Amino acid sequence: MTASNDTARAARADMGDDLVLPFTVDGLNVRGRIAHLGEAVDMAVRQHGYPEPVARLLAEMMALTALLGTTLKFQGKLIVQAQTDGPLRLLVADFTAPGFIRGLARFDEAAVRALAESGEATPEALLGAGQLVFTLDQGPRMQRYQGMVALAGSLQQAAEEYFRQSEQLPTRVRLAAGPLIDENGVHWRAGALMIQHLPPASGGTGESDEEERRRKARDADDWNTAQALFDTLEDQELLDPAISPERLAYRLFHEQGVRVFEPVKVRFRCGCSREGLLAVLRRFSPEERRRMVEADGAIHARCEFCANTYTFTPEELSDDES
C-alpha cells in the first residue's frame, strides 16, 4: 500500500473495534502496531465487576497481550503475567492464535478499596514490586519459552524494558484503558501503541569513517523524531471508537511515509469447557472430591476467566471409583 493510498483509506469511517493494525514508517526505519479493543476487554471486565483501578490495569494488560500475540506466526499461545507483592497480586492475559484473548485479576479487595478511597490507587501502589512474565506456548510437542523483567512501575515501562533486553531494539510502548459512558451504559475500552526502531542498512565495506558517522547520526535523528511524534499521542486518541487505528497511524506519521497492513481481528473467548473441568476434577482423589461436595449435593467449579460456573454430581465423577 502506498502513502497516497493511506491518505485515502485514513479518511474512511472507523474500521471497527477489536483489532490490531501493523504498520511501518519507512522514512524513520520504524515498525509498529496499534491495538484497538472494545468488547474484547469489556466482556472480561464486566463479568467480574472489578473495581475501576483493577479493571483499568487488566484492560491495559489485555491490550498489551493482544499487541504482542498478533505477531505469532503459528497456532500457539502467548501468556503475559504480572506477579506482584502489591494489593493487585496477579494480572494475567493470554492470547491464542489466530485472535482469541481473555484475562483475569486477583487482588486484595479491602486494600484496593482503601487506596481508591484515599485517591492513591496508582499503578505503582496497586502493583508494588514484582515481575512481568512472558510465556510462549507453541503446543504440546514444543518447549515453552519464558522471559521476564522486573516490574517496578507501570506495565508499559516494564514492557519497554523487556523488549530492550530480549530483542535489543529501541522500543516504546503506550497503554491506555478506561470506561466509555453512553446511552447504553458503561463500556470498557483499551488501546496500545508500540513502535520499534529497526537497524539501519549498513553502508558496506566502502563506507568511510565520516560516512558511517553521518549515517549513524541520521539514524539517531530518525529515532528521536519517531519518539517525539509518539509522545504527542494522548490516551483519548487510543480509546476513541471514532478514531480507527489506521487513521491514528496516519495522524501520527503521515509525513514520514506510513504504510499499514492487514489488521488482525481479536475477540474475547475463554477456553474453558465442561469436559475440561471434568477431567481436572477426576485428577483429585475420591476423598478430596467428597470434600468438594456442597450443601446441595453437587460440586460447583467456576472459571476464573469467564466466570461461568459448572455443576457436577458426585455420580459423574464416580466412574473410576470401584
What are the structural domain ranges in the chain? Answer: 12-199+225-268, 274-320
The predicted structure's pLDDT at residue 203 = 56
Q: What is the per-residue pLDDT across 154-205, written as a single tens digit (0 to 9) for each?
A: 899 999 999 888 888 899 999 999 998 888 788 999 999 999 999 876 655 5
Give me 20's grid cell: 490490531
The predicted structure's pLDDT at residue 322 = 42
User: Rounded CA gap, 107 and 259, in Å?
Assistant: 41
More confident residue, 254 or 153: 254
The predicted structure's pLDDT at residue 309 = 84
Q: Per mean pLDDT, which range of 46-50, 103-107, 210-214 is the poorest?
A: 210-214
The predicted structure's pLDDT at residue 263 = 95
Using the predicted structure, report yes or no on whether residue 295 has a pLDDT greater than 60: yes
Using the predicted structure, report yes or no on whether residue 53 has a pLDDT greater than 60: yes
User: Bridge partners of 162?
Assistant: none
pTM of the model: 0.84
Across the range 300-322, mean pLDDT stands at 75
More confident residue, 126 or 272: 126
Do the Cβ atoms of 306 and 102 come closer than 8 Å? yes
User: Where are the alpha helices (H) located in 47-94, listed in sequence order?
Assistant: 52-69
List of residues 6+ apart from 117 with CB closer than 8 A: none
Q: Say which residue the cell 506510513 belongs to.
A: 258
Same CATH topology for 12-199+225-268 and 274-320: the answer is no
Using the predicted structure, report yes or no on whether residue 100 has a pLDDT greater than 90: yes
From residue 74, give the alpha-carbon distance in Å to each of 69, 77, 98, 138, 164.
10, 9, 8, 7, 24
User: Rounded CA gap, 155 and 133, in Å?
Assistant: 11
DSSP code of residue 205 = T
Across the range 256-266, mean pLDDT stands at 95
Q: Give phi and psi for 286, each to the nearest 5.
A: -55, -40
User: Bridge partners of 80?
Assistant: 93, 134
The predicted structure's pLDDT at residue 251 = 95
From residue 274, give the alpha-carbon distance in Å to each of 3, 303, 310.
50, 10, 7
The predicted structure's pLDDT at residue 200 = 72
The predicted structure's pLDDT at residue 205 = 58
Using the predicted structure, report yes or no on whether residue 299 has a pLDDT greater than 70: yes
Using the predicted structure, report yes or no on whether residue 4 has a pLDDT greater than 60: no
SS3 101: strand
Q: Per mean pLDDT, which range of 41-55, 141-155, 217-231 is the poorest?
A: 141-155
Given strand 100-107, what is the order of strands in its sheet? Answer: 145-151, 130-137, 77-84, 88-96, 100-107, 267-268
The predicted structure's pLDDT at residue 282 = 85
Domain 274-320 has CATH 3.90.1280.10: yes
SS3 231: coil
The predicted structure's pLDDT at residue 152 = 81
Beta strands 267-268; 100-107: pairing state: parallel
pLDDT band at 238 (very low <50, low <70, confident <90, very high): very high
Beta strands 185-197; 171-182: pairing state: antiparallel
Across the range 55-83, mean pLDDT stands at 93
SS3 34: strand
Selected from 3.40.50.720, 3.30.420.40, 3.30.300.10, 3.55.30.10, the CATH number assigned to the domain covering 12-199+225-268 reads 3.55.30.10
Percent of the chain with pLDDT over 70: 92
E-strand stretches of the chain:
19-25, 30-37, 77-84, 88-96, 100-107, 130-137, 145-151, 171-182, 185-197, 258-260, 264-265, 267-268, 299-302, 309-312
130-139, 212-221, 223-232 — which one is most confidently predicted on average? Answer: 223-232
Long-range contacts of 116-119 (CB under 8 A, 24+ apart): 116/51, 116/52, 116/53
Q: What is the mean pLDDT of the chain?
A: 87
